[in-house]
Amino acid sequence: MSFQAPKNEYTGQIAKVTLGRDGSQLAVGGDKALPFYTFEGEIPYRPVVAMEVYDSKPGNWPQTVSGYFSDVWDDPVKWAQKCVGQYSADAICLQLKSINPDAGDMGPQDAGELVKKVRESVEVPVIVYGDGPLEKIAEVMKKVAEINQNTNLLIGWVEEDNYKTIAAACMGYDNNVISLNPLDVNIAKQLNILLTQLGLSSDRIVMDPSTTALGYGIEYCYSSMERLKIAALLQDDKMTQMPMICNIAPEVWKVKEVKESQEDYPQWGDQEERGINWETISVMCTLLSGANIVVMRHPRAVEIIKETIEKLL
């Protein structure tokens, strides 16, 4: 007797968002099936693996990962070039920590010029995250969008309290925006409604569901992201059909199980291997639950994830 495997019937599709311009351009989204379910529908673009670059030397990275970047700590341009040229990053995620008033208070003009230098130094798209009070982030990202106009930057982040300034700048200067939500489907939808009502096209929005790391509530993250993806694809909910980004590297590399040495915790095994495994498993969870872009740190973890994506698609 013949057997027909059951398949989901999808009524929705994830929006396609274009990142970068000219030689650096790539697309995310466009999915017509759940993550890696290529036997049920088309997944035209593979997930993007971005690597972190900081505008200043990080002060709390364990040696097991800092050793790969210590030679480029003081130059974000060289750091970005190393991530692309040596570690095959699909994109660069520039973390603007120095704009925080408590960490240097870099001004909007200087931040915008730094983003431009990094963007022009690599042939991959650039994602930008700010750090600090919402008012300062909005002020900085407005100038970042202006100085880097018409380049399809992905700029983060917006919440209900600051979405108008950054979204208007992205509309005016042809860039994309990250909408941040605290692992809540309804809040995610509401913010996307506000953004589209303002006039920002849905193909300019990427959602950040505020992911955490393995062992620190990632199962709740998985459920929330999965609900967003199911609503988008199976229920054709337009306000959940934006691609998702998971800025997960900072969450992984701050946990005790990754930072503590083997000497202090011999039962946990080799510290570097432990960190690589922690990041790899955390990132894989986000990919399986719907992430279209993941932000990573350790080169070996990046290599493993890229190899896994290749096998699954």
Query: Where are the chain's structural domains?
Result: 16-312
Residue 231 confidence (pLDDT) = 97
Residue 3 confidence (pLDDT) = 80
Q: Reply yes or no on whether the pLDDT at 155 is more than 90.
A: yes
pLDDT category at 183 given cuts 50, 70, 90 is confident
Distance CA 186, CA 240 (A): 10
Q: Where are the alpha helices (DSSP H) in the chain?
A: 63-66, 76-85, 108-121, 134-147, 163-173, 185-198, 218-234, 249-252, 256-259, 271-288, 299-312
Distances (CA, A) of 101 to 98, 104, 134, 142, 302: 8, 6, 12, 17, 32
Residue 59 confidence (pLDDT) = 84
Distance CA 106, CA 108 (A): 7
Do 208 and 250 form a contact (C-beta atoms < 8 A)? no
pLDDT category at 162 given cuts 50, 70, 90 is confident
Residue 2 confidence (pLDDT) = 81
In this prediction, residues 270-279 reach a mean pLDDT of 97
In this prediction, residues 282-288 reach a mean pLDDT of 98
pLDDT tens digit string along 57-104?
A: 998 899 999 999 999 999 999 999 999 999 999 999 999 999 999 999
In this prediction, residues 5-10 reach a mean pLDDT of 88
Q: Reply yes or no on whether the pLDDT at 1 is more than 80.
A: no
| Superfamily name with CATH number, domain 16-312 | Dihydropteroate synthase-like (3.20.20.20)
**CB-count burial class (<10 Å; 0-12, 13-18, 19+) for 194:** middle
Residue 90 confidence (pLDDT) = 98
* Chain mean pLDDT for the chain: 95
Residue 96 DSSP one-character state: E
Instruction: Quote the longest CA-to-CA distance of the chain.
Output: 71
The Cβ of residue 81 has, within 10 Å, a number of other Cβ atoms equal to 17
Picking from 130, 125, 92, the residue whose alpha carbon sits closest to that of residue 111 is: 130
Residue 303 confidence (pLDDT) = 98
Distance CA 278, CA 258 (A): 7
Residue 132 DSSP one-character state: S
Distance CA 289, CA 53 (A): 25
Residue tagged 């790539």 (tokens): 26
Rounded to two decimals, the pTM is 0.96
Angle at 297 (CA atoms; ends 216, 211), nearest 5 degrees = 30
Q: Before 157, cis peptide (omega within 30)? A: yes
Distance CA 47, CA 293 (A): 6
In this prediction, residues 236-259 reach a mean pLDDT of 96
In this prediction, residues 215-240 reach a mean pLDDT of 96
